Amino acid sequence: MNGFGQRYVIDTNALSQLGKARRASSFFLQHAVIPEEVMHEAVGLPDIASLRDNVHPTTTRVLYWLAEVLSTVPDDDTRLIDLYANLGSADPLVVACALEGQEYDSQFLLAPEWIIVTGDEAVRAKAEEFGLRVLSNSQFATLVDESGHEQDVHDDGTIKRLE
């Protein structure tokens, strides 16, 4: 943690496992970044329209980083992406978006840390290979829950747990 904030790049598996209440939390809406391809994969979520402000578009710079990420994947390795089986098309873009965001923000004195949230081991390994920090889905859910305690206190003082 660098003390200047964090941007959490959310993988499809994390987005679906977080649940609607966590995705609607102010912490999520302020800090989460959702790659455009993840939004395509998550099109069936009931609250997908409310997440559009969090989309990280697939720009030419993201595509540059995607090429960098894919250049490190051996041809016979299908853990990160398997186009023939239509699996993991967003996975390398999750890493590329974090790298592009980190690169862009490096021009600022108080740049946030870019962190990937995923339950996918191949994404975790590739992100760590590029020096990115990774949180599991449950670690991020705990952050969201802990950040919402002040906001989710009922009139009687009890805390509503986000599901």
Q: Which two tokens stand for residue 112?
A: 């946030």
In single-letter form, the type of residue at position 85 comes to A
What's the mean per-residue pLDDT of the chain? 86
Q: What is the pLDDT of residue 83?
A: 52
Residue 119 CB partners (closer than 8 Å, separation 6+): 11, 13, 14, 17, 136, 137
Which pLDDT tens digit goes with each residue over 1-30?
444 699 999 999 999 999 999 999 999 999
The residue range of the domain holding 147 is 6-155
Residue 162, domain member (yes or no): no
- How many structural domains compose the chain? 1
Q: Domain holding 107: CATH number?
A: 3.40.50.1010
Residue 66, domain member (yes or no): yes
Mean pLDDT of 43-64: 95
Q: What is the pLDDT of residue 80?
A: 63
Residue 47, domain member (yes or no): yes
Which pLDDT tens digit goes with each residue over 74-121?
777 666 665 545 555 788 999 999 999 999 999 998 999 999 999 999
- Sign of the four-CA dihedral 61, 29, 32, 91: negative
Prediction pTM value: 0.84
Indicate if the pLDDT at residue 64 is higher than 80. Answer: yes
* Residues in a beta bridge with 87: 82
Residue 143, domain member (yes or no): yes
Residue 23, domain member (yes or no): yes
Indicate if the pLDDT at residue 152 is higher than 80. Answer: no
Q: What is the pLDDT of residue 156?
A: 44
